[in-house]
């Protein structure tokens, strides 16, 4: 993995820690300032465009407190100016001021290399359903 992609993954990890504490700014700063960024969010929103996506992170972050999320990647791959990760984000957070609860989100991120740095351009997150093969 190239050093720039490693730094981008570190920024995302730091952003997820902040998001779990209720501060969406560092995660939002990982996103390309582009009209074609997209979000298929775990809490329901589907958004396109930098402003709409980062505004949604403000809403999501406002729901969290006293926690953090940690990415656990199953796959990290890059080819040319595109890269992607597949994995889980796990942590314990308060949602809407409730009791701390564990949360696991399945996440695919897509990155684009822009001027020698990597920026998020897509997120698809959801809550993993039970594996129906296991009764």
Looking at the chain, the whole-number percentage of residues with pLDDT higher than 70 is: 99
> What DSSP string runs through 50-103?
HHHHHHHHHHHHHHEEEEEEEEEEEEEEEETTEEEEEEEEEEEEEETT---EEE
Kindly list the domain boundaries of the chain, sorted by start residue. 3-126
For residues 67-74, give the mean pLDDT. 94
Mean pLDDT throughout 2-20?
95
At the topology level, CATH places domain 3-126 in Nuclear Transport Factor 2; Chain: A, (3.10.450)
- Token code pair at residue 29: 């700063």
Q: Can you tell me the distance from the alpha carbon of 36 to that of 65, in angstroms, rounded to the nearest whole number?
A: 30
Residue 47 confidence (pLDDT): 95
Instruction: Supply the pTM of this predicted model.
Output: 0.91
- Residue 49 reports pLDDT greater than 90: yes
Confidence (pLDDT) at 135: 64
């Amino acid at each position: 993995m190239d050093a720039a992609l490693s730094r981008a993954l570190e920024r995302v990890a730091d952003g997820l820690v902040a998001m779990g504490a209720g501060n969406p700014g560092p995660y939002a700063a990982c996103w390309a300032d582009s009209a074609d960024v997209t979000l298929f969010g775990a809490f329901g929103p589907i958004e396109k465009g930098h402003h709409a996506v980062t505004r949604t992170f403000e809403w999501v972050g406002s729901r969290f407190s006293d926690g953090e999320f940690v990415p656990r990647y199953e796959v990290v791959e890059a080819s040319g100016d595109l890269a992607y990760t597949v994995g889980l984000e796990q942590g314990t957070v308060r949602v809407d001021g409730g009791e701390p609860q564990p949360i696991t989100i399945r996440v695919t991120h897509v990155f684009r290399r822009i001027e020698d740095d990597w920026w998020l351009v897509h997120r698809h997150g959801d809550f993993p359903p039970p594996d129906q093969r296991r009764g």
